[in-house]
Amino acid sequence: MNIVLAEESELQGGRLSLGDRRAEHIVKVLRAEAGDLLRVGLVNGPSGRGRITSIKKKFPFLVELAVDFVVGDTGPPPMPPIDLILALPRPIMLRRILSQAAALGVGRIDLVNAGRVEKSFWEAGILQPEEYRPHLLQGLEQAVDTRLPELFCHRRLRRFLDETLTLAAAGYRHLLIAHPGGSPLGAIIDHQPGRLVLAVGPEGGWLDDEVAAFSRLGFLSCSLGERILKVDTAVVALHARVSALRELRLLPAD
C-alpha cells in the first residue's frame, strides 16, 4: 500500500479514522508510528498527506490521521489513455487482472461475453461492485493513484459491439484486438496522441467471426509474437508494450 485511499464520507473535519485492513497494513507492514506522514487520497478525488495522530498496534487496530490535501488539487489525476475490453475470464483470474489493470492505468474496463466464455462465469460474485471494487482499489494503492477505473458488464457481445462500441469507436485513435497472427504492435502504434482501446479474448482466443465483427468497426489485429500467453499475463504484457511504444513515439526527434 503506497497510498492510503479513503472515501470522501470517511473524512470528517480533516480527520480520518481507520480500523480495517488499512489500519492493519499501516501497523504491521509499514510499521508506522505516531507523527509519521503517509500519502493519503480520496477515491476519485485529490491526494495529499496524513499525519498519524494516534495508533493502536494491537487487534483491533486503529489509526487516526490528520489529513491535508495539496493546495489547488480538487480531483483525481487525468484518465489513463488506455481502455480495456476483456472477454470475461475465470473469477480467480479476473481478480488478478482488475488489480493489475488498475495499477498499470486504465480508464475503463468492459467485460464482454464471447464464444469461449463459460456461461457460469456470469454468475460469479466478483461481478458485483462490492466484490470487484476492492481489487481495483488495491491496484490504485500500489500505483499511488486515486482515479478508479470504470467497469461495465455486457452479457451480449453483439449488442455491445452494435450499440456501445459503434458509438464509442470514433473517440479512439487506435482500436486494437489481440489475436494470434496479428501485426506487431510497433507497426500499428503511431506518433499521434489520442485514446486507445485494447480487446483481449478468453482462454482459447476469439472466434473468427468475433474478430471479423471487431474488424468491421475498425479494429486492427495485433500480436506479441508466437508465444501463447494466459489472459492475465497477456493483459499486462500488452499494456506495457503499448505504453512503451506510445512513450517512444512521443519523444522529440534528435
CATH of the domain at 61: 2.40.240.20
Q: Are residues 54 and 174 in the same domain?
A: no
Res 71: pLDDT: 62
* Helices 231-250 & 91-104 angle (0-180, nearest 10): 20
> Do 65 and 143 lie in a common domain?
no
Q: Residue 76: inside a domain, yes or no?
A: no
In a domain, 74, yes or no: no
Could you tell me if 33 and 146 lie in one domain? Answer: no
**91 and 52 co-located in one domain:** no
pLDDT tens digits for range 114-140: 999 999 999 999 999 999 999 999 999
- Domain containing residue 211: CATH number: 3.40.1280.10
Percent of the chain with pLDDT over 90: 83
Provide the domain limits for residue 94.
Answer: 82-250
| Residue 60 and residue 34 in one domain | yes
How much is the pTM? 0.92
The three-state secondary structure class of 51 is strand
User: In this structure, are 86 and 65 located in the same domain?
Assistant: no
Q: Is the dihedral of CA 154, 155, 160, 164 positive or negative?
A: negative
Q: Are residues 139 and 40 in the same domain?
A: no
In a domain, 77, yes or no: no
Phi/psi at 80 (nearest 5 deg)? Answer: -55, 150
Identify whether 200 is part of a domain. yes
In this model, does residue 23 exceed pLDDT 90? yes
Whether 65 maps to a domain, the answer reads: yes
Q: How confident is the model at residue 32 (pLDDT cuts 50, 70, 90)?
A: very high
Q: Are residues 194 and 159 in the same domain?
A: yes
Final residue belonging to a domain, choices 69, 94, 123: 69
Q: Does residue 60 share a domain with residue 87?
A: no
CA angle at residue 143 from 19 to 134, to 5 degrees?
45
Domain count, the chain: 2
Contact in structure between 154 and 114 (CB atoms under 8 Å):
no
Q: Does residue 245 form part of some domain?
A: yes
- What is the rounded average pLDDT for all residues in the chain? 93
Give the confidence band of 180 by pLDDT, cuts at 50, 70, 90: confident
The reply to whether 180 falls in a domain is yes
Predicted confidence (pLDDT) per residue in 82-108, tens digit: 999 999 999 999 999 999 999 999 999
The answer on 223 and 170 residing in a single domain is yes
* pLDDT band, residue 252 (cuts 50/70/90): very low
Residues 161 and 48 reside in one and the same domain? no
Rounded CA-CA distance 160/169 in Å is: 12
In a shared domain, residues 118 and 174: yes
**75 belongs to a structural domain:** no
